Amino acid sequence: MDKETKLKGIADATAKILTLLGEDQNREGLLNTPMRVAKALEFLTSGYHEDPHDILNEALFTTSNDEMVLVRDIEFYSMCEHHILPIIGRVHVAYIPDGKVVGLSKIPRIVNVFARRLQIQEQLTEQIADAISEVIKPKGVAVVVHARHMCMEMRGVEKINSTTISSALRGLFKSDTRTRSEFYNLINTHTPSNF
């Protein structure tokens, strides 16, 4: 399906939803809302059209480094697959190279690829870890996600500021206590924003 047809279909469905909610879709504030919603949803789900393996492979470099590489506090926004409401959080990603490293900007891009899909946090965490494991083939990978779920805050139990933490550990991060402890210490250490 071409982009224009897809956007029109989403906009038409949005207009119907507005009517079913009891809104007048012809009032001034809602005149362009269906197409704005369509464009927003297209962006928020753009990860379906990106291949994480391609992103990582385009910036893979040989290295002699065998110490932990950590990119922490990667902010992300996603949408829960159960209610299509926002998930807002931060991701910490570490790996221990085994002959290869990836360009640092590719780690946040991988987070975005998976975040820009309808998701559950647990799956997002696993997908990031698996993509890095499969392409970089490091000695270990660790991913921790801290997130707030609007499906818990805006509806349902309405527990504002509750945080969900999920992790995925591979290789040395799972088998070696010292490596795992070093990772958790690093992600939990406060670093001034202007370091």
**Phi, psi for residue 126 in degrees, rounded to 5:** -65, -40
Can you list the residues of the chain whose pLDDT is less than 50? Answer: none
Distance CA 16, CA 1 (A): 21
151 an active-site residue? Answer: yes
Instruction: Please identify which of the residues 58, 81, 122, 134 carries the catalytic annotation.
Output: 81
153 an active-site residue? Answer: no
Q: Where in the chain is the domain with CATH 1.10.286.10?
A: 3-44
In this predicted structure, what is the pLDDT of residue 13? 97
Angle at 117 between CA 171 and CA 115, to 5 degrees: 50
**Phi, psi for residue 38 in degrees, rounded to 5:** -60, -45
Instruction: Please identify which of the residues 92, 119, 121, 126 carries the catalytic annotation.
Output: 121
In this predicted structure, what is the pLDDT of residue 156? 87
In this predicted structure, what is the pLDDT of residue 179? 97
Average of per-residue pLDDT values in the chain: 95
Query: What DSSP letter does each residue of 25-91 carry, written as one string?
Result: TTSGGGTTHHHHHHHHHHHHTGGGG--HHHHHHTTEEE----S-EEEEEEEEEEEETTT--EEEEEE
User: Does residue 171 contact residue 141 with C-beta atoms inside 8 Å?
Assistant: yes
| Two tokens, residue 108 | 């946040």
In this predicted structure, what is the pLDDT of residue 131? 97
Instruction: Please identify which of the residues 123, 151, 153, 182 carries the catalytic annotation.
Output: 151
Instruction: Please identify which of the residues 92, 119, 126, 149 carries the catalytic annotation.
Output: 149
Look up the CATH architecture of domain 52-188.
2-Layer Sandwich (3.30)
Q: Where in the chain is the domain with CATH 3.30.1130.10?
A: 52-188
Distance CA 155, CA 100 (A): 45
CATH 2.60.40.1180 fits 3-44, yes or no: no
Q: What is the DSSP letter of 117?
A: S
Q: What is the DSSP letter of 115?
A: H
92 an active-site residue? Answer: no
Taking CA atoms, 11 is separated from 4, 94, 147, 158, in Å, by 10, 40, 29, 29
The amino acid present at 69, given as its one-letter code, is: V
Instruction: Please identify which of the residues 49, 53, 82, 122 carries the catalytic annotation.
Output: 82
83 an active-site residue? Answer: yes
In this predicted structure, what is the pLDDT of residue 193? 61
In this predicted structure, what is the pLDDT of residue 195? 54
**137 φ/ψ sector (left φ>0, alpha ψ -120 to 50, else beta):** left
49 an active-site residue? Answer: no
| Two tokens, residue 89 | 């959080």
Instruction: Please identify which of the residues 42, 83, 123, 153 carries the catalytic annotation.
Output: 83
Instruction: Please identify which of the residues 80, 92, 126, 127 carries the catalytic annotation.
Output: 80
User: pTM for this structure?
Assistant: 0.93
In this predicted structure, what is the pLDDT of residue 1? 84
The amino acid present at 66, given as its one-letter code, is: D
